[in-house]
């Protein structure tokens, strides 16, 4: 990267150096958006036709899915922006903010579900046309199951907290729908009207756990956690190979991740009689080898003499 003399030295480091969002991630986020619209409509219709607080609570969860999908799309676009003068390490942490928003929204939806369930528990009303509601909610749950599974699988493959969080959110919705279906089905079979809000209450409390996990992961990411063990093991394997073949040593390894971005900071200690060129060439090879093991990772190296 060329430096503007008026702005000081350029930022350096290795990696793909490319902005933009992988097309598959954006396609899946728009798929999530479409799924949220479809399931929200189905559940709202089920709640309208049956008068079930369980279906109403399920519809509220889908509204959260819709907003979360929009937030996720914006977060992916922001996270993909390259480094600039104000953000020297890129914008990868925007994905953690998205996951935090989703976790907070799950908490909000849980409160709304519990509130509605308690009200209906105190004043139960009979359900109307429960069979239609069960069919509509069942279709909505199936849509979320398929889309959520795909989002989690692809999100983990591409190391996208936004996609994984959105997928887990949809899977939470599947559990919500499953509990509601059981409750409404039991009400239709046995006529126990209070079972509908009881199930809604249990489901609302249960999904608080998912919200907590999303918030916890987001906070850990914002606090610069190290790379996961499997990635750290790849870094150590490359370093050990250089220690054996090149007779160099390394200072403490420092790593961190920000969404899909990975950063490695290394101090390379070389023999004091090496030329600057030789040390520079070794650092370049090291950075390329690490990039081959961890595609897209950015490595920063500092070369110093062994006897310094």
Domains of the chain listed by start with CATH number: 23-222 (1.20.1510.10), 229-305 (3.30.70.1350)
Helical packing angle, 276-293 and 229-246, nearest 10°: 150
Distance set, CA 133 to CA 116, 251, 252 (Å): 18, 63, 60
Is residue 58 within 8 A of residue 67, CB to CB? The reply is no
Alpha carbons 119 and 223: distance in angstroms, whole number: 40
Could you tell me if 287 and 14 are in contact, meaning their C-beta atoms sit under 8 angstroms apart? yes
3-state secondary structure 189-208: HHCCCCHHHHHHHHHHHHCH
Token couple for 282: 């070794």
Task: Write out the two tokens for 111.
Answer: 């409160």
Indicate the range of 12-21, 84-93, 193-202 predicted with least confidence: 12-21
With a cut of 80, say whether residue 33 has pLDDT above it: yes
pLDDT in tens, 125-167: 777 888 888 899 899 999 999 999 999 999 888 877 778 878 8
The answer, yes or no, to whether residue 180 has pLDDT greater than 90, is: no
Share of the chain above pLDDT 90, in %: 21
At 10 the pLDDT is 38
**Whether 305 contacts 272, CB under 8 Å:** yes
- Residue with more model confidence, 181 or 6: 181
Tell whether the model's pLDDT for residue 3 goes beyond 50.
no
**Kind and range of the H or E run holding 250:** strand 249-250
291-307 pLDDT, tens per residue? 898 887 889 899 999 87
| pLDDT recorded at residue 267 | 92
């Amino acid at each position: 990267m060329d430096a503007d003399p008026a702005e000081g030295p350029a930022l350096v480091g290795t990696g793909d150096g490319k902005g933009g969002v992988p097309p598959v991630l954006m396609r899946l986020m728009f798929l999530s958006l479409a799924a949220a619209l479809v399931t929200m409509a189905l559940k709202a219709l089920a709640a309208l036709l049956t008068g079930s607080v369980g279906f109403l609570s399920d519809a509220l969860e889908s509204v959260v899915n819709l907003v979360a999908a929009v937030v996720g799309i914006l977060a992916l676009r922001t996270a993909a922006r390259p480094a600039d003068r104000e953000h020297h390490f890129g914008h990868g942490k925007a994905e953690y903010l998205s996951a935090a928003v989703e976790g907070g929204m799950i908490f909000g939806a849980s409160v709304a579900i519990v509130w509605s369930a308690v009200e209906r528990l105190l004043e139960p009303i009979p359900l109307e046309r429960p069979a239609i509601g069960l069919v509509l909610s069942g279709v909505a749950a199936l849509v979320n199951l398929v889309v959520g599974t795909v989002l989690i699988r692809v999100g983990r493959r591409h190391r996208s907290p936004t996609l994984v969080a959105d997928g887990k959110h949809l899977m939470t919705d599947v559990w919500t729908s499953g509990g509601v279906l059981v409750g409404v089905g039991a009400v239709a079979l046995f006529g126990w009207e209070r079972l509908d809000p009881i199930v809604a209450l249990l489901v609302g409390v249960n999904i608080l756990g998912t919200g907590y996990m999303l918030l916890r992961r987001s906070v850990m990411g914002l606090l610069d956690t190290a790379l996961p063990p499997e990635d750290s093991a790849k870094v150590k394997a490359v370093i050990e190979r250089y220690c054996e073949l090149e007779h160099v040593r390394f200072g403490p390894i420092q790593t961190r991740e920000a969404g899909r971005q990975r950063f490695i900071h290394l101090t390379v200690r070389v023999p004091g009689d090496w030329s600057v060129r030789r040390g520079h060439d070794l650092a370049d090879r090291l950075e390329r080898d690490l990039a081959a093991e961890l595609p897209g990772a950015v490595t920063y190296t500092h070369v110093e003499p062994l006897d310094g």
